[in-house]
Amino acid sequence: MYIVKRNPKNPILIPNGEEAQGAFNGCPLKRGNSTYLLYRAVGNPDPLSAPSGLSTVNIAVSENNGEFEKRGRFIVPDAPWDKAGCEDPRVTFFEDRYVIFYTALGGYPFNAGNIKVGAALSRDLKTVHEKHLVTPFNAKAMALFPERVNGKVTAIITAHTDEPPSCIAVVQCDKLEDLWDEAFWKRWHAELPQNVLNPLRSNRDHAEVGAPPIKTEHGWLHLYSYIQNYFGGGERIFGIEALLLDLNDPRKIVGRTSGPILVPEELYERYGLIKDIVFPSGALLHENGRLEIYYGAADSVCASASLYIPDLLDAMIPERRDGFATRAPNNPLIVPDPKHSWEEKATFNAGAVDIDGTPYLLYRAMGGDNTSVLGYARMSKDGLKVEERLSEPVYVPRASFEQKLGSRNGNSGCEDPRITIIGDILYIGYTSYDGVHAPRAALSSIRVEDFVAKRFERFSMPELVTPDTIDDKDMFILPTVIDGNYYIFHRIGGQICVDVRKSLDFSKSRVDRCIEIFGPRRGMWDDLKVGASGVPILTDKGWLFIYHGVSSGRKTYRLGSALLDKNDPTRVIARTVEPILEPAKKDELEGQIPRVVFSCGMVAHGDTLIIYYGGADSVISAATYSLKQILAKLVPSTLE
């Protein structure tokens, strides 16, 4: 589990002067207090010599983490093999020189025969002392490892980029000069298959070398470009992903991210010379563990984002990733009871509340006619065993808007409760459904003392909270009144929303605003829709918010986490890149709805966070987490 934090100063470099069309795909190199950024600059089109604009490799300098200034050209098209442009530099200080690989365009119109890799060498990053054509075949995006690997000069390259199938491959040789020796490349190409790295999850996708590899204690970290749906139609989704390569044999993949680290979301990533692109071109690893990723945005500007590298490695190495969540040993905790007709089919999606150190659950139950009612369970003090479970439902459909109006055996009733206590009143927000109209959120309440005493007949008559014509679910009330305001969370379509109100009286006016908290992220595990899980828990860092996300691929429901500002819960401080729980066990993979973990409630006991979740819309289970560990990953000290 990890977060990515975009640089608040993004974009960090924009076109300037002759860089009329773009200044992007920057690769940084740190020397003392100075950061040198080599980047691709694109000028205005010239109908005679550069119809799409001539690309050069320019350089900018940042002193003491300030703005990038002192900009100027560094590599210019002055050789027959790069006369049509120099693109996308990757710079590495190797032994006694700066080695910059770049894409060399040898003519126009561009085609596989004139797009190759060039190299420029410099001893001071002020002057190019040598230039060489590197590959005799079509290739792009070559990057040099910063040190020899088992005595070998080592690089990574995208071969045959413009004549699919392309591939990412590792190159090793005895001396740097071999890399512009055509005879060496002929021998290497004959053995290409054994040098290939294959990070693809689908043959419809495409990958390309990104930043120069960075050495970590667990392997060589390589940030690369991964493009979903590159072939065969569908929306192309550009993302930044990472591989971990074996320290001694970088042709072996020892870890990887399960999906994108970053996808286009911000305006400067979505719109530009070519919209919806984030392309990794360089990275810096700082002493405090902060990994700073440099990337091109929309083929127009340079941007950067940071993450905490130990957290990233935890997510990439399987044995470290699997230890983050601990499922309760006696899962599932609650299963359908064939002796009770009202819960003989399914028991799932429990709201949870802690009262005087004891967790209580109100769970959704279904019988043979698919009517949803709410059952009751009192848990053990540790929250992981059922101490009491009632034989009758404690909350049933009572209002007209939740009575069955559709098919006799169609879904209807009271679904997915979420519980909030404010003062001495316990509120349940739930989805009311009559089988015909759009699902709407409803609210009922009861005094806490009546709830504990099981005087459930004292639940107030429910009232609708959301409009009649909108599918609106996942509603709850934040348990703290902030500046006299109640925060009503709900979901419209795939977006998590908030309305802010002075009163909880919905008899005259219902929720009518969608202040967006966040929505799906294209190409990621939550790209179809997101929704609120249980009521957030207030911590010293902010509101810990668990949410569910659904993937568009196989419609898999997973859980993620976010941190909301304690004084302004509409502001998202952090959001996890990867899920914190996903279907893995049989009762999460198989059931009424396969591949589902779905939570409506959680409680915190000291440092232990217990998340109750429905498995495959059929049973109720629990998973525990260290609260401190979750918060440390949501707010790494190095990124504050």
Supply 531's token pair.
């929704």
pLDDT at 44 over 90: no
pLDDT in tens, 229-255: 999 888 899 999 999 999 999 999 999
Q: What value does the mean pLDDT of the chain take?
A: 94
- Cα distance between residue 28 and residue 12, in whole Å: 12
pLDDT value, residue 50:
64
pLDDT at 319 over 80: no
Q: Quote the percentage of the chain above a pLDDT of 90.
A: 88
Q: Is the pLDDT reported for residue 121 higher than 90? A: yes
Residue 232: predicted pLDDT: 81
The pLDDT tens digits of the residues spanning 136-176 come to: 999 999 999 999 999 999 999 999 999 888 999 999 999 99
pLDDT tens for residues 339-388?
999 999 999 999 999 999 999 999 999 999 999 999 999 999 999 999 99
Interval 52-71 mean pLDDT: 90
For residue 447, what are the contacts with CB-CB under 8 A and spacing of at least 6?
424, 425, 426, 458
Cβ neighbors of 554 (< 8 A, separation 6 or more) are 595
What pLDDT is recorded for position 164?
A: 84
Q: Which of 51-65, 278-292, 577-591, 610-624 has the lowest mean pLDDT?
A: 51-65
65: pLDDT strictly greater than 80: yes
Examine the pLDDT at 51 and tell me if it is beyond 70. no
Q: Report the residue count for the chain.
A: 640
pLDDT value at residue 318: 78
Cβ neighbours around 6 below 10 Å, total:
18
Record the pTM. Answer: 0.93
- Does residue 48 carry a pLDDT above 70? no
User: Could you give the percent of the chain with pLDDT greater than 70?
Assistant: 98
Confidence at residue 69, expressed as pLDDT on a 0 to 100 scale: 87
Q: What is the pLDDT of residues 251-291, one digit of tens each?
A: 999 999 999 999 999 999 999 999 999 999 999 999 999 99
Res. 617: pLDDT tops 90: yes
Q: Give dist(CA 564, CA 487) in Å, integer.
A: 12
Tell me the mean pLDDT in the region 69-83: 93
Q: Which domains does the chain have, with CATH numbers?
A: 18-320 (2.115.10.20), 337-639 (2.115.10.20)
Q: Which H or E run contains 389?
A: strand 386-389
Which pLDDT score, from 0 to 100, does residue 49 have? 59
The 139-144 sheet, strands edge to edge: 139-144, 153-159, 167-173, 196-197
Are 205 and 228 in contact, with CB atoms under 8 Å apart?
yes
CA-based torsion, 626, 628, 634, 636: positive or negative: negative
Picking from 150, 308, 301, 166, the residue whose alpha carbon sits closest to that of residue 224 is: 166
pLDDT tens profile 552-580: 988 999 999 999 999 999 999 999 999 99
Instruction: Give pLDDT, residue 20.
Output: 79
> Are 41 and 22 in contact, with CB atoms under 8 Å apart?
yes
Whether residue 323 has pLDDT greater than 70: no
pLDDT band at residue 507 using 50, 70 and 90 as cut-offs: confident
